[in-house]
């Protein structure tokens, strides 16, 4: 992100921002939450959160970053020197780091599944002329993910890959690669959706995902949907503030926010259209539906139905692994840039300081899926605790602070000037956005959090 040329083209800028947004959040996290929060009811609240909260907050972060011209903490300091509002950015950076520690583990799973698809181990009974059922895919998942050692190896490999890329300066190459692979991932998803929809009993799954049952909507569903919207759009973590500081002066921020959010939401919805018909078709129920299983059991089952399934599997997990890698790099970059700027660390020292603790933190998260699973903190495994606290509490709080800051604290014309590019673009949405950012978003987010806690 250190090279301004990177955002020389409009497509490059949108692609890079979409690259940050689209990741495991859409492909792995979204289906899990939709599954456990009532399917279509969750989808509906999630879509509402993207429109009412996500897009305006994204415009606020873009304005803050481009106008402030620095990282998540520095931008606040540049706009209002001497005030303590930079702490909002600091909460975001901390949240992104907590997220990174378990995100790296899931990134490791995608690497392991890529590898096991290549070796064929994931599909051995089939390649040996047999068939595969849920139980076999479940036992593969247990071996690859729940087992203590296998996932650690792959998580470590991902951390090392991050080191190499962030230090070696091949970052732009990786980002370019991701800009090619992302559209390809999109095409793959369309093909998989076609296959999934043609499975027997696909309608039942589709109806679970698309026909809302409002009686299922409660405070937990709403808080999960809101957290997912922020997570998926990379909001409240200082990432988009940092990214937008590289945007050119003539970028139309409102349009960029809408485009990025729509693309991100589309990927999530497509994943739902792929996963849920497959779930009903293969008759998965109960335990096998929890956590990781949707992407790591259900999808391999879909691939096994397709001609050349192993190739599809390799392609999918490889693309997903690259998407995860570009996300881990961008999350780590925020902390690294912060360490370099504010503690005057060298690049090497900052990379070590940020990435080395992950060997321990990510290992603990990984083990909490296996033998440390019975160790519960407030009723959660460490993995789930990190996920819940960062996503459902810290991201919303950081977003409330960003809204209050842009709506009330920053100089009066600042937000308007950013959205209208100093009056050169007529921004019809400005009044609505300002109203949402000033009143609706902070009150709504705060009420959702309160309702969730007093419940
Ligand atoms: N938005 C990304 C996703 O949905 C996650 C992410 C978070 C990426 C923070 C970058 C930074 O997977």
From the first residue on, what is the mean pLDDT of each consecutive set of 10 residues in the chain (455 residues)? 51 80 94 92 97 97 95 94 96 96 96 96 82 82 88 97 85 73 89 94 94 90 96 94 89 94 96 93 66 85 88 93 89 87 91 97 92 85 94 97 97 94 86 96 97 89
- Which pLDDT value is given to residue 170? 66
From 18, 23, 30, 244, the mutation candidate for ligand 1 (largest count of ligand atoms within 8 A of CB) is 23
Q: How far is the CA of 222 from the centre of ligand 1 (A)?
A: 20
Residue 18 CA to ligand 1 centre (angstroms): 10
- Which H or E element spans position 16? helix 10-21
Query: Could you give phi then psi for residue 377, rounded to 5 degrees?
Result: -115, 120
Q: Count of CB atoms within 10 A of residue 196's CB?
A: 24
What is the 340 CA–ligand 1 centroid distance (Å)? 22
- Distance (Å, whole) CA 126 – CA 306: 12
Pocket test for ligand 1, best of 327, 328, 398 (most atoms within 8 A of CB): 327
* Predicted local distance difference test score (pLDDT) of residue 130: 74
Q: Ligand 1 — pocket residues by CB below 6 A?
A: 20-21, 23-26, 96, 99, 231-232, 234, 237, 239, 327, 330-331
Mutate to test the pocket of ligand 1, among 103, 104, 234, 325 (most ligand atoms within 8 A of CB): 234
DSSP 142: I
What pLDDT does 358 receive? 98
Q: Which two tokens stand for residue 10?
A: 């409009």
Cα of 448 vs centre of ligand 1, distance in Å, is 22
The minimum-distance atom of ligand 1 relative to the CA of 21 is 1
Q: How far is the CA of 22 from the centre of ligand 1 (A)?
A: 7
* Cβ within 8 Å of residue 97, ≥6 positions away: 331, 335, 354
Q: Which residue's structure tokens are 């991201």?
A: 395
Q: Which two tokens stand for residue 412?
A: 């009066």
Q: Which of 174, 329, 247, 183 is nearest to 7 (CA)?
A: 247
**Residue 324 to residue 111: CA distance in whole angstroms:** 9
What whole-number distance in Å separates Cα of residue 443 and Cα of residue 131?
54
Q: Which residues are registered as beta bridge partners of 377?
A: 380
Ligand 1 centroid vs 280 CA: distance in angstroms?
Answer: 29
Phi, psi (rounded to 5 degrees) for 284: -80, 135
Six-digit token string for 249: 């002066």
Q: CA nearest 410: which of 383, 388, 437, 372?
A: 437
What's the pTM? 0.93
Q: Give whole-number Cα distances, 215 to 37, 229, 272, in Å.
A: 11, 21, 21
User: Could you tell me how far CA 18 lies from the centroid of its own chain?
Assistant: 11
| H or E segment to which residue 399 belongs | helix 395-404
Ligand 1 atom closest to the CA of 26, numbered from 1: 4
Calpha distance 360→372 (Å, rounded): 14
Which run of H or of E encompasses 293?
helix 293-293
Q: Which atom of ligand 1 is nearest to the CA of 28?
A: 12
Query: Do 368 and 386 touch, CB atoms closer than 8 A?
Result: no
Cβ contacts of residue 213 below 8 Å, gap of 6+? 38, 39, 40, 41
Minimal-distance CA residue to ligand 1 atom 11: 331
Q: How far is the CA of 178 from the centre of ligand 1 (A)?
A: 14
User: How far apart are alpha carbons 251 and 432 in whole angstroms?
Assistant: 20
* Burial degree of 343 (CB within 10 A; 0-12, 13-18, 19+): exposed
Cα distances from 309 to residues 127, 292, 312, 314, in angstroms, run 10, 20, 5, 9
- How many whole angstroms from 257 Cα to the centroid of ligand 1? 15
Residues 6+ apart with CB under 8 A from 18: 182, 260, 263, 264
Number of Cβ within a 10 Å radius of residue 288? 19
What is residue 4's predicted lDDT score, i.e. its pLDDT? Answer: 39
Distance 438 CA to ligand 1 centre (A): 26
Q: For residues 438 and 432, what is the distance between their CA atoms, to the nearest angstrom? A: 10
Residue with CA nearest ligand 1 atom 8: 327
Residue 231 CA: which ligand 1 atom is closest?
1
Tokens of residue 13, six digits? 């800028």
């Amino acid at each position: 992100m250190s090279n301004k040329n990177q955002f020389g083209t409009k497509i490059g800028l949108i692609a890079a921002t979409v690259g940050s947004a689209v990741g495991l959040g859409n492909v792995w996290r979204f289906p899990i939450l939709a599954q456990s929060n009532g399917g279509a009811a969750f989808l509906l609240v999630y879509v509402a959160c993207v429109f009412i909260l996500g897009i305006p907050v994204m415009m606020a972060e873009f304005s803050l970053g481009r106008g402030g011209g620095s990282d998540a903490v520095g931008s606040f300091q540049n706009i209002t020197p001497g005030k303590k509002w930079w702490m909002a950015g600091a909460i975001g950076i901390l949240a992104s780091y907590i997220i990174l520690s378990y995100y790296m583990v899931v990134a490791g799973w995608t690497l392991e599944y890529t590898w096991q698809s290549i070796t064929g181990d994931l599909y051995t009974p089939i390649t040996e002329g047999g068939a595969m059922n849920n139980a076999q895919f479940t036992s593969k998942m247990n071996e690859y993910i729940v087992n203590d050692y296998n996932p650690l190896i792959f998580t470590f490999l991902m951390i090392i890959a991050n080191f190499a890329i962030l230090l070696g300066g091949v970052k732009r190459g990786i980002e370019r690669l991701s800009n090619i692979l992302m559209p390809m991932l999109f095409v793959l998803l369309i093909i998989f959706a076609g296959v999934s929809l043609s499975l027997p009993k696909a309608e039942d799954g589709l109806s679970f995902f698309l026909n809302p049952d409002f009686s299922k909507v409660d405070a937990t569903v709403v808080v999960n949907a809101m957290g997912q919207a922020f997570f998926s759009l990379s909001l409240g973590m200082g990432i988009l503030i940092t990214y937008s500081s590289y945007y050119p002066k003539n970028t139309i921020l409102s349009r960029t926010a809408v485009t990025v959010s729509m693309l991100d939401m589309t990927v999530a919805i497509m994943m739902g259209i792929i996963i849920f018909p497959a779930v009903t078709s293969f008759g998965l129920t109960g335990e096998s539906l929890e956590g990781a299983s949707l992407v790591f059991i259900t999808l391999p089952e879909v691939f096994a139905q397709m001609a050349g399934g192993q190739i599809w599997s390799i392609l999918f997990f490889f693309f997903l692994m690259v998407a995860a890698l570009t996300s881990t790099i961008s999350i780590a970059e925020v902390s690294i840039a912060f360490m370099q700027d504010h503690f005057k660390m060298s690049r090497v020292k900052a990379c070590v300081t940020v990435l080395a603790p992950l060997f321990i933190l990510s290992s603990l998260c990984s083990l909490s899926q296996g033998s440390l699973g019975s160790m519960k903190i407030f009723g959660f495994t460490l993995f789930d605790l990190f996920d819940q606290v960062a996503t459902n509490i810290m991201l919303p709080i950081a977003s409330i602070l960003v809204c209050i800051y842009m709506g009330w604290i920053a100089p009066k014309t600042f937000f308007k000037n950013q959205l209208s590019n100093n009056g050169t673009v007529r921004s019809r949405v400005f009044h609505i956005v300002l109203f949402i950012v000033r009143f609706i978003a902070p009150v709504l987010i705060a009420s959702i959090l309160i309702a969730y806690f007093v419940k």
